[in-house]
Structure 1
Amino acid sequence: MWSIGELAERAGVTVKTVRFYSDRGLLPEATRSSGGHRRYGPEAVDRLRLIRSLRTLDLPVPDVARILDHEDALEDVVARQLRAVGSQLAALRWREAALQLLRDCNPEERADRLRLIGAVSVPPSTAPMARFWRRWLLPARLPARLVSAIVDQAVPQPPDDPAPEQVLAFARLHALTTADCSGTGPCQPAAHRPETGFRAAVLYDGLAEAYALASAQMLAQRPPHQGEALDCFVSAYAHACRARDTPAFRHGLAGRLAADPRIDGYWQLTAELRGPSEPTAGAAHDWLCAALDLRTARPAA
């Protein structure tokens, strides 16, 4: 049996360290001397070295205790710590880009940018944008499945290693989606307003396919034109209001979409976050509207 000092010497640590782990139940003593002093057996050296190895990884004492009691707990603890470290690194990269943004801007821009950045949590959360879209879609009474699909497509994830410009775009998106829209006109798209006659669930189901087809054309760098993407786009609107796809319908749809307020600013900022390799739904919508305008303008020409 070794005293606390002898164990500390053999393990290469201080007496204070041995006492600390003993007091927290990580290093139980084997027995006590007649004078009440702690005594440890040879196995305590290996246990103490294992504790020190785990602690060098910054594992909390409760997690170390779990691993010592159950070896299979190591995998879960490591996975959780990796997630925590990843979140910390993301926060640091975000702060670095935000500081660079403030450092490199003009003095007259600094106060406004600081206000925008200060309103965003670190690491940044997409929850406000998701709430914005759910409020936007709520009046349409869409199925939960469809709402989730639209929100997943519409809400951009913050980059893992953002550039300063992307931090600014995300901060502006946060400001846009948390601002009160009362007093600025209709907050909902025309397809959600009952007087237009659209069946929103039918419309959104069809638009998803049309946007995917248009995105493929955009990635191929093709300008707006007639074809499958435009036909699918018009068909979605026609089915949504129980109409037929005719030249007259297309002409009326072009005028209606041109007058329908869209959140172009949202999609523009989203495009800055995602980059040109991933067209947004807003960009696909604009491409299709441009194709529709070309189609409806030809008879007049």
Structure 2
Amino acid sequence: MDATTLYSIGELSRRTGLPVRTIRFYSDAGVVAPTTRTPAGYRLYDLDALLRLELLRTLRELGMDLATVQRVLDRELSVADVAAAHADATDVRIRVLQRRRSVLRAVAAGGAGPEEITLMHRLTQLSGEERRRLTHDFVEGTFGTFDTADADHAAAAMVRAALPDLPDDPSGEQVAAWVELAVLVGDEDFRARIRRTAGRQAAGRPLDIESAAGDELMDFTRRKVTDAMESGIDPRSDRGAPVIDDLVHRFAEVFARTPDREFREWMAQQFEEAHDPRVDRYWRLVWIVNGWQVVPNLLPVYPWLVQALRA
């Protein structure tokens, strides 16, 4: 094969693997024009046409549109620049496909209905900037702007430091957690709850019941409840009853109260101020979305205590 060799359209098809009708289409479009024709009118192509056709086939297989390919062949665009642009576009398509796969897995695992599937798909299609705007609006809408009190600043900083960030290739569990979070942060009642609890936590203010009970009883309570949680004891079960009965009697003695149902409800209300169930759910969802390990002994003990008191 040399520069003077001429090829029929059938020979080009054999060498490039492209169908004759495809080469004829490219030829008619002027992308790979014939070098000359035989006396009978059959098209003949030189080595340059063969090389152009092979490059055209490669670029098309990489997903480039025909107009862009022709500009590359005509040297209006460099292969490097076009390849970089298409590599970026391919990355975007890969991320879209990965999230679509994650949504399908979440649907398959959770048995979501049509409305949930639509919401899940819509929320996972948000761009990184749109997701950041959603969480930014949540923080600013909950804690206000920077002319608010220092306590709000501290609370906002605490929440902002652990904002959820859905990865490019999320698991089905992360997709489901992200969707639940997106709904949760748009709820005004939840915003009021997290502002109250986060503000108290950021300021380091103890609960009234904690201050009145004293460090010794509170340390004992946390140890007992942590042990129960790590042992897998359900707060509403018979196994949880002795733990909570002992704690109720200890608190009743300190507060000079009768350890009856009314006192238990009072205790539950006091400890509920520290860990609102919906706020606790928010933090657990953040851990899941961000792929952080959930460490059992760092989980709040008061939700277990409140459930046991009301069992």
**TM value normalised by structure 1:** 0.51
Q: Which residue of 1 aligns with 2:81?
A: 76
Percent of paired sites with the same residue: 28
Q: Summarize the Cα distance change of 1:6–1:39 in structure 2 as closer, same or farther, 3 Å threshold.
A: closer
Alignment-derived partner of residue 166 in structure 2: 158
Q: Contact (CA 8 Å) 1:11, 1:49: kept in 2 or not?
A: no
1:167 aligns with 2:175: yes
Q: Deviations over 1:269-299 (max 9, x none)?
A: 22111233599xxxx9x99xx9xxxxxxxxx
Computed over aligned residues only, the root mean square deviation of the Cα atoms, in angstroms, reads: 5.1
The code of the aligned residue for 1:7 comes to I
Pairing partner for 2:134 from 131, 135, 151: 131
The equivalent residue for 1:244 is: none
Counterpart pick for 2:29 among 24, 31, 41: 24
CA spacing shift, 1:126–1:43, aligned 2, 3 Å: closer
Paired with 1:10 and 1:34, the residues of 2 have a C-alpha distance of 19
Q: What are the within-5 Å matches in structure 2 for residues 253-268 of structure 1?
A: 265-268=281-284
In the superposition, relative to structure 1, how do residues 111 and 34 fare at CA in structure 2: closer, same or farther (>3 Å)?
closer
Equivalent residue in structure 1 for 2:292, among 276, 279, 285: 276
Question: CA distance change for structure 1 residues 44 and 277 in 2, over 3 Å: closer, same or farther?
Answer: same
Residue 200 of structure 2: aligned partner: none
Shift of residue 22, structure 1, vs aligned partner: 2.7
Equivalent residue, structure 2, for 1:43: 48
CA shift for structure 1 position 166: 0.8
* Structure-1 separation of matches of 2:190 and 2:180: 18
Runs of 4+ with deviation above 6 angstroms: 32-37, 149-152, 258-262
Residue 96 of structure 1, aligned match among 87, 97, 101: 101
Q: Using the alignment, how far apart are the partners of 1:185 and 1:158 within structure 2?
A: 21
- Where in structure 2 are the equivalents of 1:197-212 lying within 5 Å? none
Q: Is the 8 A contact 1:116 1:175 kept in 2?
A: no
For residues 160 and 90 of structure 2, the distance between their equivalents in structure 1, rounded to whole angstroms, comes to 25
Change (3 A) 1:151 1:5: farther
| CA distance 1:62–1:155, shift in 2 (3 Å) | farther
Q: CA deviation at 1:37?
A: 7.5
Q: State the AA in 1 paired with 2:283.
A: W
Work out the CA distance in 1 between the residues paired with 2:34 and 2:284: 65
Q: SS state of the match for residue 123, structure 2?
A: coil
Cα displacement string for residues 23-73 of structure 1 (whole angstroms, at most 9, x for unaligned residues): 433223446789987654442112112211222222221232232233872
- Bigger radius of gyration, 1 or 2? 2
Q: Which residue matches 1:215?
A: none
Q: Find the residue that maps to 2:8 and give its secondary structure.
A: helix
Distance 1:270 1:155 in 2: 7
Q: Match of 1:6?
A: 8
Q: Which residue of 1 aligns with 2:240?
A: none
Tell me, yes or no, if the aligned pair for 1:8 and 1:18 is still in contact at 8 Å: no
Amino acid at match of 1:270: V
Which 5+ residue runs of structure 1 have no aligned equivalent? 143-148, 191-202, 204-222, 224-257, 291-301
Per-residue deviation at 1:161?
3.1
TM-score computed with the length of structure 2 as normaliser: 0.50
Question: 1:169 deviation in Å?
Answer: 0.6
Shift of 1:126: 5.6
